[in-house]
Amino acid sequence: MMWSLRHVRGLALSNEGSIVPLFLEVSNRSISVNSGSKGENVKLLIDGEFRESRSSSWIDVLNPATQEVVSRLPLTTNQEFNEAVQSAKDAFPKWRDTALPNRIRVMLKLQDLIRKHTDELALSITTEQGKTLSDAKGDVFRGLEVVEASCGIAPFLAGDVLENMAAGIDCYSIRQPLGVVAGICPFNFPAMVPLWMIPVAVTSGNTMVLKPSERDPGAAMILADLALQAGLPKGVLNIVHGTRDVVNSILDHPDIKAVAFVGSDQAGKHIYQRGCANGKRVQSNMGAKNHAVIMPDADVDSTVQALTGAAFGAAGQRCMAISAAVFVGGFEKWKQPLLDCVKALKVGAGIEPDTDVGPVISKESKARCEKLIQAGIDQGAQCLIDGRGVKVPGYEHGNFVGPTLLAGVKTNMDCYQDEIFGPVLSCLEVDTLDEALAVVNSNEHGNGTAIFTRSGAAARRFQHEVEVGMVGINVPIPVPLPFMFSFTGWRGSFAGDLHMYGKAGVHFFTQPKTITTKWNPEDVALCAGAVASTSSAVKGTGGRIPGLDRVGA
């Protein structure tokens, strides 16, 4: 069983047994960009320099397993924010005109540096965010895939051409970068989400202002330093820190043309509405309630393992986590195997090599999880496994919530209707696939879903009729690879029209320009030294005046 749980997590566990200061050695120089050394101040990145903020307001970045202060994060001042935007604006003309192969070469170097420093990045993530080291390495790797995909970005930047759309007239389109763009990142994937944004935006020719999560900025700072060492010119990437005020500054600044966001419903709706009201292009990836539909013919062992990994990995703090399991034909035959699998999970600090479920990000998140668990019980759900009150020796102050299994859940219960964003799996029962589809489609969110079955007919009907943007068939977390596809949440999980990374992501950060051309045939002779007469030039147009014949022809 333990082998299967490790297989679900997908990566071998690391052997580091203690937290060490995160001074990262890269390219023979010591970086102190505040990736996690205890009590240090997190720097800003403006115009290619890591700067100490002049702010008088700071936030403590805490280790969620210990409550120790990892670093201090500044709330960027208005002047510092404007300097960051101006740096990006000043850098844009030259970066836009940099040959695409040269921009790609920066990404090639960056992916190499990220591979070499995955361990440092993972340790920063575990220290600040709490997830296990193996989960943290997965966080880095999934972001690395977007860097790799950006090295092959050229086909997504290609335009179209139509020859002789009218007599002697050609028409073609090209894609050009927008200018200064911005990214606003969540706490749950400190490396992956910045890497969803930065490589696509800058390889397309834009310059960027990035705001990492105020809860775990370390990984983004390490990535920014690696990007500079990979050859990214000063001003192409700038990093600011803060909370709502800095977000609003991003949304209101006239020089920022587009905003990419991943995070909660409340923040996402505000960002989309305010950004659009200010004339910006916005892609807003928001909350989720992801369902797994389990058909009676599904393989028990592999399905139970998949549910366990998808519900409780990363302590349930994933926008693609399975938080609702819909059992078609009843839950009884699944109950004991699922109980056995979930009970085998070990709760602990992410730094410990045998931990399966780390802490949630904050005391507030822990309290929210516990409140929704109790609400489910009060409203009639059965708590088969209760993760509240779990104690981890040596980490008594950690934000731990153990894996929790609620059965008999109904769609009108708070534990179902709200996104818990913690290690809680709600189990529902229905009689038919029709009813399962109705449950999934009636939920306001449409991020991800999965069906477990051996029936091709059931799977095909499910994928066709379910109103969700990412569908897995016997795959619990169907996050698309970025080399061709995009992260395609639907309905309440996404606001915008162009999704993140992949072809849609490139198109989000670029805009089409269409050019119509006409060249006089007699100009060929002029190039050879002949001089065309005025009468022959008129004759070349057929005696008609351009603009008065067929609208511009």
- CATH number, domain with residue 267: 3.40.605.10
pLDDT (0 to 100) of residue 524? 77
Residues 99 and 165 in one domain: yes
- pLDDT tens for 132-174 read 999 999 999 999 999 999 999 999 999 999 999 888 899 999 9
Distance CA 85, CA 181 (A): 9
Distance CA 468, CA 441 (A): 8
Residues 421 and 370 in one domain: yes
Identify whether 11 is part of a domain.
Answer: no
Residues 200 and 330 in one domain: no
Residues 168 and 264 in one domain: yes
Residues 273 and 379 in one domain: no
pLDDT (0 to 100) of residue 358? 96
Residues 277 and 295 in one domain: no
pLDDT (0 to 100) of residue 526? 73
Identify whether 460 is part of a domain.
Answer: yes
Distance CA 143, CA 209 (A): 18
| One-letter amino acid for residue 124 of the chain | S
Phi/psi at 2 (5° precision): -65, -35
Distance of CA 136 to the CA centre of its chain: 14
Adjacent-strand bridge partners of 283: 260
Q: Could you count the other beta carbons within 10 Å of the beta carbon of residue 344?
A: 14
Residues 472 and 456 in one domain: yes
pLDDT less than 70: residues of the chain = 1-38, 528-553
Cβ pair 170, 163 in contact under 8 A:
yes
Cβ pair 231, 106 in contact under 8 A:
yes
Give me the residue label for tokens 């904050």.
Answer: 362
pLDDT (0 to 100) of residue 15? 31
Which structural domain, as residue segments, surrounds residue 151? Answer: 40-287+502-511
Identify whether 115 is part of a domain.
Answer: yes
Residues 364 and 256 in one domain: no
Residues 283 and 315 in one domain: no
Buried (b) or exposed (e) across 428-463, using 16+ Cβ within 10 A? bbbeebeebbebbeebebbbbbbbbbeeeebbeebe
Residues 207 and 296 in one domain: no
Identify whether 497 is part of a domain.
Answer: no
Identify whether 62 is part of a domain.
Answer: yes
Mean pLDDT of the chain: 89
Domain count of the fold of the chain: 2
Residues 98 and 242 in one domain: yes
pLDDT (0 to 100) of residue 480? 87
Residues 407 and 433 in one domain: yes
Identify whether 404 is part of a domain.
Answer: yes
Supply the pTM of this predicted model: 0.87
- Positive or negative, the Cα torsion across 328, 329, 330, 334? negative
pLDDT (0 to 100) of residue 134? 94
pLDDT (0 to 100) of residue 278? 97
Pick the catalytic residue: 151, 171, 276, 319? Answer: 319
Identify whether 1 is part of a domain.
Answer: no
- Which structure tokens are listed for 286? 């928001």
Identify whether 233 is part of a domain.
Answer: yes
Active site residue 527: no
CATH of the domain at 416: 3.40.309.10
pLDDT (0 to 100) of residue 458? 96
